[in-house]
Chains A and B, each alone.
Chain A
Amino acid sequence: MSKKTQDRASKQVEMPSITSDDFNYDVDKRHRVGGIWRQVFQVSTVIGIIVLSALLFNVLNQTFGLAAVEVEIDPSSLAIEGVPLENLTQEQLIGILEEHVSKGLFRRFESEQPLVERDREEVYELVLERVVEPKVVRTWSLTDSILRRDEVEEERAEKYPESSLDFFSWIDPSFVSSPQSSDPLRAGVRTAILGSLWTIAITILFSFPIGVGAAIYLEEYAGDTFINRLIQTNINNLAGVPSIIYGILGLAIFVRVLEPITSGAAFGLLEDPTTANGRTILSAGLTLGLLILPLIIINAQEAIKAVPNSLRQASFGLGGTKWQTVWSHVLPNAIPGILTGTILAISRAIGETAPLVVVGASTFITFDPDGPFSKFTTLPIQIFQWTARPQAEFRNIAAAAIIVLLVLLLSLNASAVFLRNRFRRHAL
């Protein structure tokens, strides 16, 4: 005993003899290794940011820029008695229109809405569109337009002497509000935006309640049996199935088997039931719903798992039933997490193209979808279709449509985040 104490005492005496080198042993090496890893992680982040910026730059580069425009008839030649075109009266504009367009087209304009009853502005637009008939013959990217302005001007003068050079913003209010058209100058994305919104609405209505319901069942009710484990494994695997396969599933089930329902024929909405066609918004929405259902289930399960068990016990301890516990305590605390998962899933659904191609999105429709049983196109389909066109101008409007898609996605996400934060604050 006393010897031990002595030992300890002698050790304490030795303590001050430890040099500062002993303290620093290996520290430099450890710091170096740590520093290297830190740089590796930093580089990964920077690469990610660079790639994203490049993408955004590329899109913007295509969306804005100079374009050489040729006109069929020079607007200045349309001036009447020295009054330029933009100052002419409505009657004079109608006269010009009647004089220059074919009789059939003029009659069509009149039958849509008599020209005299229209706004002067509208008639003026028609004259510009149909009589002046501008045509883009060559476009340049934003960087070329800014940095190599002179060369662009030279090239235009040499190859397209008839044309004039204009700065184009391919995305503008009329691009968002116009329907699809075969003329890139007149084409818009209204049809596609509405198609995307309708489809996503159906997707949410279908997959959110079912997904959350399934998650509640699996987490709160289902026992740890073989069958339930099998179901769980399958859900996890389904989340990784390629989307085109969901498209084929949707084609087989919603478009073909359930055609009477998805076409609306079963509800008596079609005048002629023999024209029933299951390639509708409803089919597309349900297909996308199936696609994101596993994601929603898994995310909701994680959110429900994260609710502390002590809350459930407290609720049961007060005589709460299972349902009262789930409804009053589990769900309110899980809803922010569930919404986060749903946001991610919906973002994926908005951007999906492949399954919709299989289900049968129309590549060219000019009328707006007006319900779940309409034919439709969506923004990604529209972008895909435009990029496949040979004319260069379609790539510009595809870039513009990408911006519209990104804005739509971000605003949907923002509203979901806003909703989530409200719930979070509500739950205190």
Chain B
Amino acid sequence: MSMGGENFMEEKNVSSNHGGIIVAELPIQERLISLDRIGNETSDSEAEQELALETRHLNVYYGDFLAIHDVELPIPARKITAIIGPSGCGKSTLLRALNRMNELVPTARAEGEVIFHGKNIYSPEVDPVEVRRRIGMVFQKPNPFPKSIYENIAWGARINGYQGNMDNLVEQSLRDAALWEEVHDKLDQSGLSLSGGQQQRLCIARAIAVKPDVILMDEPCSALDPIATFKVEELMRELAANYTIVIVTHNMQQAARVSDYTAMMMLNETRSGEMIELDHTDTIFTRPSNKRTEDYVTGRFG
């Protein structure tokens, strides 16, 4: 689409004026390509990485308060991108800005663009309901509907006008979420009767049942024990073959284990969240270019 991507990239240097941040001064597209070259020898590094989502100069306000400032985050398709950073730095706000969930907070307001399939999802003609169907979400606390397991999956598909065989869809979604074996004989039981980890996988199954392009996960494992966490992480790796996943996590080991790319967020001097580094996950955790990233990932947080 004619979004004027090149011009955008050139202007980038002007806007990021915080010193010492090396990657931020490179045009993003170029950066990812170059990172591919460094990080992954075997991959087809010359091919331009296909982007599922891309934020451009994204600012989010709560009332007058600038919560995140000028975030430029490209999200490659069918990869897992992790957003890490200390508490209150705007990770979740950024994530929720990606499918307009922020609008449920009455005072929230976004500026800038989020490009999805060549279109800015914040442009007036775009319906947030459609955006949210295509960019699904999994929440921090498992929140299955207080309905049957079957109905949990079927509801989203039904309201989105799904015409096919509902039984097949429910089964397929549960299989994709690695939950079918555990629940196939109790589909009519309440979703709330499952364990926490199963509930979270039910929520993931529910999200993929409406066939989104992107799944946003807001600390999906923070309420789960290590075994359930492991299962959800395993599931995320499997889903990455077909879906683009963006995950916010406090758990750096988790980011290191599951993600392909990692974005590091920090608060700036005016207490607004900023993305200070974006790179291959390997690089972020082994040779970060930013001193603050290095301090954070090595536990010497300053």
Contacts and interface: CB of A to CB of B under 8 A. Distances in A.
Interface of A: 223-224, 308, 310-321, 324, 328-329, 332-333, 427-428
B286 to A, nearest CB: 34
B106 A310 contact: no
Given A318-B206, A427-B147, 6 more contacts: A314-B143, A314-B144, A314-B203, A317-B99, A332-B146, A428-B192
Contacts of A318: 132-133, 136, 155-156, 159-160, 206-207, 210
Contact of A319 (B130, B144, B147): B130
A319 B155 CA distance: 11
A319 B132 contact: yes
B139 to A, nearest CB: 6
Contacts of A332: 146
Of the candidates B133, B141, B145, B148, the one having the most CB atoms from chain A within 10 angstroms of its own CB is B145
Interface in B96-110: 99, 101, 104, 106
Contacts of B203: 314
Interface in B120-172: 129-130, 132-134, 136-139, 141, 143-148, 155-156, 159-160
Contact of A317 (B130, B137, B192): B137
Interface residues of B, number: 30
Which 5 interchain pairs have the tightest Cβ spacing? A319-B133, A318-B156, A317-B137, A310-B143, A428-B190
Nearest to A427: B146
A333 B143 CA distance: 14
Of the candidates A223, A315, A332, the one having the most CB atoms from chain B within 10 angstroms of its own CB is A315
Given A311-B143, A318-B207, A329-B145, A224 B106 contact: yes
Main DSSP-derived SS at the A contact region: helix
Contact of B104 (A312, A319, A321, A328): A312
Nearest to B140: A310
Nearest to A319: B133
Contact of B156 (A319, A427, A428): A319
Contact of B139 (A223, A314, A321): A314
A310 B191 CA distance: 14
B145 A320 contact: no
A332 B148 CA distance: 13
Contact of A316 (B101, B146, B207, B210): B101
B148 A428 contact: yes
B63 to A, nearest CB: 12
A319 B159 contact: yes
B132 A316 contact: yes
Contact of B207 (A310, A317, A320): A317
Contacts of A310: 139, 141, 143
Nearest to B152: A314
A320 B101 contact: no
A329 B147 CA distance: 9
B213 to A, nearest CB: 12
Nearest to A323: B159
Nearest to B159: A324
A317 B145 contact: no
A329 B156 CA distance: 12
A420 B136 CA distance: 34
Contacts of A321: 129, 159
A22 B147 CA distance: 55
A319 B139 CA distance: 15
Contact of B101 (A223, A308, A317): A317
Contacts of B190: 428
B98 to A, nearest CB: 12
A307 to B, nearest CB: 10
Interface string B267-288: 0000000000000000000000
A312 B103 CA distance: 13
A317 B136 contact: yes
Contacts of A324: 159
A332 B138 CA distance: 22
A320 B137 CA distance: 12
A312 B207 CA distance: 14
Contacts of A311: 143, 145-146
A319 B129 contact: yes
Contacts of B147: 427-428
Of the candidates A224, A308, A317, the one having the most CB atoms from chain B within 10 angstroms of its own CB is A317
A313 B104 contact: yes
Contacts of A224: 106
A333 B141 CA distance: 19
Of the candidates A316, A324, A332, the one having the most CB atoms from chain B within 10 angstroms of its own CB is A316
A135 B68 CA distance: 89
Given A312-B104, A313-B139, A319 B148 contact: no
Contacts of A320: 129, 156, 159
Interface in B172-205: 190, 192, 203
A310 B143 CA distance: 6
A333 B144 CA distance: 13
A157 B127 CA distance: 91
A308 to B, nearest CB: 8
Nearest to B215: A317
